Structure 1
Amino acid sequence: MTHSTPKLYLLTNDDEISTLIDKLERALDTGAVSLLQIRRKATLKQYDLATVYQEAELLVSLADKYDVDVVMNDDLELASHFCTGVHLGQRDGSVAVARQLLGDEVVIGRTCHADIALFKQAKKEGASYGAMGTAFASLTKPRAGIVPMPTLQKTAKVDLPLCVIGGIALDNVYQLRDGLGDTPLEYIAVTADIMSHSSETIAAKCRAWQLKLQNW
């Protein structure tokens, strides 16, 4: 059975900024990462707006250096300021408005949970992809429900690129592949399986992901 190769979509964590920059530099340098989401939940709570913007500037310019597309998590103003894409949760505003504001070139993602109706709505509003999850029990979102495999398979009929998120790791990603069958998968979103490791091991981890996806 032939499968098109999914792309690795890396989400940042809440590491202190210099540690995060170090980790991302090592990750992006492998060429394994296709899309980067800047997701700094703790920073938003702890720091003033100026710090949030300073951090975002550092992260965006690092991604630019490696020619990796960036999406901001939930923050249309940041995305507009830095001319990046955006990922919107269901309560974070309209995809159509984001598309109008940010233009046709950038990546706009939408959280669709395990709901095929939300996935169809995301396509209608002009999203670049719909994110379905949780794929497996996730450390990041322990209370999120697992998305049933038949729901993921139904996305094939919608003709919108599929992103799968939640608890995906090197040791379970082929379960996802086998469950999906012929269903095309655009992005595999990963945080903990890469970012929770020490800087020294990040490059090896990314290369292992690269190999897994090449053998998809």
Structure 2
Amino acid sequence: MVAALDNPALRGIYAITDSHLLPDDRSLLGACETALEAGIALLQYRDKSADDALRWRQSDALAALCERHAVPLIINDDLALAQRLQQRWGASIGLHLGQEDARLSEARERLGGAAIIGATCYDSTRLATAAAQAGASYLAFGRFFASKTKPEASPARLSVLSEVATLGLPRVAIGGIDIDTAGQARAAGAEMLAVVHAIFGMPDIAGAVRALATAVDATAAVGQR
């Protein structure tokens, strides 16, 4: 099972697409290719539309891009789509589940032990423990800061990241992560920083990815002194 803290795919910048910021195939694929070239660790495809043909077309094209850059593609909340893509592209296809989506244990059984499967845990050590026991590869917490993508989301405490350290799984910080907040989230214990607007809402996507990575590296360097 892909869950170890030393897995390089589960450290760094985790870019999440947004259908409002990237409204068509051309903008989506162009922006994601730029982010991949700039060095993101994971890419999540998130589209809540009911257009199954569009979602298959876009996710399949993103899987091809991710394969070229050796970066896992994570599908948001759609186990059936992830399984279909996995049959075509292999174990590099993963899944992220919220608390109202398919059961994590079922996803693990259907996608196999090598797939990256993440779980939304909000601000809860209880949810994190349950997700770890069900086979999660990483645990996502937030929102930690004011979010442009989900402004209505309940706030979370940065301290929850240290509280779940004993579970031994990579921790993802999400919600308002940008160049000003990335260092705080990393210093609090997040191995990955999930970013939407501060990458795909920026005019210079590659520069945004590199700036976020620099902020994370600088925080890590300070912590090692």
**Same fold by TM-score, threshold 0.5 exceeded?**
yes
C-alpha deviation, 1:210, in angstroms: 2.2
Equivalent in the alignment of 1:140: 149
Equivalent in the alignment of 1:73: 76
SS at structure 1 position matched to 2:176? coil
C-alpha deviation, 1:71, in angstroms: 0.9
Name the aligned partner's letter for residue 146 of structure 1.
P
Equivalent in the alignment of 2:181: 172
Query: How far apart are the structure 1 equivalents of 2:169 and 2:35?
Result: 27
Name the aligned partner's letter for residue 141 of structure 2.
M
Query: How far apart are the structure 1 equivalents of 2:41 and 2:56?
Result: 23
SS at structure 2 position matched to 1:138? coil
C-alpha deviation, 1:22, in angstroms: 0.8
The count of aligned residue pairs is 202
C-alpha deviation, 1:129, in angstroms: 0.6
1:39 aligns with 2:46: yes
The question of whether the paired residues in 1 share the 8 Å contact of 2:182 and 2:212 is answered with no
C-alpha deviation, 1:186, in angstroms: 2.2
**Aligned pair partner of 2:102 in 83, 93, 106:** 93
SS at structure 2 position matched to 1:33? coil
The question of whether the paired residues in 1 share the 8 Å contact of 2:82 and 2:94 is answered with yes
Query: How far apart are the structure 1 equivalents of 2:17 and 2:134?
Result: 26
Query: How far apart are the structure 1 equivalents of 2:185 and 2:213?
Result: 16
Query: How far apart are the structure 1 equivalents of 2:54 and 2:68?
Result: 21
C-alpha deviation, 1:54, in angstroms: 1.1
Name the aligned partner's letter for residue 189 of structure 1.
A
The question of whether the paired residues in 1 share the 8 Å contact of 2:139 and 2:172 is answered with yes
Equivalent in the alignment of 1:129: 138
Query: How far apart are the structure 2 equivalents of 1:22 and 1:80?
Result: 25
Query: How far apart are the structure 2 equivalents of 1:138 and 1:213?
Result: 19
Query: How far apart are the structure 1 equivalents of 2:95 and 2:137?
Result: 10
C-alpha deviation, 1:137, in angstroms: 1.2
**Aligned pair partner of 2:194 in 189, 205, 215:** 189
The question of whether the paired residues in 1 share the 8 Å contact of 2:173 and 2:194 is answered with yes
C-alpha deviation, 1:124, in angstroms: 0.2
**Aligned pair partner of 2:61 in 50, 58, 62:** 58
Query: How far apart are the structure 2 equivalents of 1:85 and 1:153?
Result: 25
Equivalent in the alignment of 2:3: none
The question of whether the paired residues in 1 share the 8 Å contact of 2:185 and 2:193 is answered with no
Query: How far apart are the structure 1 equivalents of 2:209 and 2:215?
Result: 10
Query: How far apart are the structure 2 equivalents of 1:110 and 1:89?
Result: 6
The CA deviation string for residues 32-52 of structure 1, in whole angstroms up to 9 with x for no partner, is: 2111100012xx24x3x2222
Query: How far apart are the structure 2 equivalents of 1:9 and 1:177?
Result: 13
5+ unaligned residues in a row in structure 1: which ranges? none
5+ unaligned residues in a row in structure 2: which ranges? 1-5, 87-92, 221-225
Name the aligned partner's letter for residue 50 of structure 1.
A
Query: What is the root-mean-square deviation of aligned Cα atoms in Å?
Result: 1.6
Equivalent in the alignment of 1:206: 209
The CA deviation string for residues 59-117 of structure 1, in whole angstroms up to 9 with x for no partner, is: 11111111100110000011001111100000101111101100111100000111110
Query: How far apart are the structure 2 equivalents of 1:80 and 1:146?
Result: 32
C-alpha deviation, 1:209, in angstroms: 1.8
